[in-house]
């Protein structure tokens, strides 16, 4: 039975092993909750696959879950992008519940909108560069762009985001509010890039984005 409680997600990076038969592949969590978690790694399982997860704490915690969604894998090989997947838990322990409870006070996620793991082509223009990169995730409030040449925090950028599913292009402007350098990414097993908070949408881009995000939300409820 899946845990369907509407528990709040907590941003917490935990080293894990995971796998379909045995937890053998290394990865880490991006966020956790009583009902599920988001895993990052180089091995991805398709939705409806049951996997075993071992959180490598001081006292290892064993979990079992069903993959609910995965990030777009089309660019994984060419871009060396770590992929991620959402997992609904079907078996957890009291130790895991305690971990989530303790994490809530330490790693409060300030985002008010859910993020969706999507890899889309994005062209963005900074005062110094015109670059073509890919997104790691997207929400109504902003995106994370994969890049090894990040502009500084506070830089304002103009973007064109190509939605592969519909072929539509979203024009947006935003501010760089978070940077993961190549060195930080290598240390933490993450992807280098920038978090961009949307500030405006020239040419009707906001309506296109909101419609698309709502479709993703509806798909997750199915």
Domain end, chosen from 81, 106, 131, is at 106
Q: Is residue 1 part of a domain?
A: no
> In this predicted structure, what is the pLDDT of residue 3?
43
Q: What is the pLDDT of residues 25-41, one digit of tens each?
A: 988 887 888 899 988 88
Is-contact 87 68, C-beta < 8 A?
A: yes
d(CA 103, CA 32): 9
Is-contact 119 91, C-beta < 8 A?
A: no
- Mean per-residue pLDDT of the chain: 80
- Give the domain CATH number at 46: 2.40.10.220
pLDDT, greater one: 25 or 104: 25
What's the average model confidence in pLDDT over 1-10? 53
Domain end, chosen from 51, 79, 106, is at 106
Q: How many distinct helices (H) and strands (E) make up the chain?
A: 4, 14
Q: Are strands 130-138 and 116-117 parallel, antiparallel or unpaired?
A: antiparallel
Quote the domain boundaries for residue 57.
Answer: 10-106
CA 219 centroid distance within chain: 17
Is-contact 155 195, C-beta < 8 A?
A: no
Residues 121 and 102 in one domain: no
What's the average model confidence in pLDDT over 197-206? 86
Q: Label residue 103 left, alpha or beta by phi (over 0 means left) and psi (-120 to 50 means alpha).
A: alpha
Q: Is residue 214 part of a domain?
A: yes
Residues 22 and 82 in one domain: yes
Exposure string of 159-185, with b = 16+ CB inside 10 Å and e = fewer, is bebebeeeeebbbbbbebeebbeeeeb
Q: What is the pLDDT of residues 112-137, one digit of tens each?
A: 567 777 777 888 877 777 778 888 88
Q: Are strands 36-41 and 83-91 parallel, antiparallel or unpaired?
A: antiparallel
Residues 128 and 215 in one domain: yes
Phi, psi at 127, each rounded to 5° = -60, -25
> In this predicted structure, what is the pLDDT of residue 5?
42
Residues 45 and 82 in one domain: yes
Q: Is residue 33 part of a domain?
A: yes
> In this predicted structure, what is the pLDDT of residue 76?
46
The token pair at 45 is 């399982």
Q: Is residue 183 part of a domain?
A: yes
Cβ neighbour number for residue 6 with a 10 Å cutoff: 7
What's the average model confidence in pLDDT over 7-18? 78
Q: Where are the alpha helices (DSSP H) in 51-194?
A: 76-79, 94-106, 182-188
């Amino acid at each position: 039975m899946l845990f369907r409680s509407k528990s709040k997600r907590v941003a917490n990076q935990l080293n894990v092993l995971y796998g379909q038969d045995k937890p053998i592949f290394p990865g880490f969590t991006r966020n956790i909750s009583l009902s599920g978690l988001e895993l990052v790694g180089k091995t991805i399982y398709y939705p409806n696959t049951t996997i075993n997860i071992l959180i490598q704490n001081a006292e290892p915690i064993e979990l079992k879950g069903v993959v609910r969604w995965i990030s777009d894998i089309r660019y994984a090989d060419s871009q060396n992008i770590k992929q991620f997947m959402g997992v609904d838990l079907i078996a957890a322990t009291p130790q895991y519940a305690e971990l989530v409870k303790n994490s809530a006070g330490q790693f409060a996620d300030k985002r008010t909108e859910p993020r969706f793991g999507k890899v889309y082509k994005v062209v963005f223009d900074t005062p110094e560069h015109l670059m073509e990169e890919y997104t790691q995730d997207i929400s109504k409030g902003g995106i994370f762009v994969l890049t090894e040449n990040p502009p500084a925090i506070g830089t304002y950028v103009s973007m064109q985001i190509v939605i592969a599913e519909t072929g539509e292009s979203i024009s947006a402007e935003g501010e760089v509010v978070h940077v993961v350098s190549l060195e930080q990414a290598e240390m933490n097993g993450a992807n280098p890039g920038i978090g961009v908070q949307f500030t405006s949408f020239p040419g009707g881009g906001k309506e296109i984005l909101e419609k698309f995000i709502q479709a993703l939300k509806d798909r997750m409820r199915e």
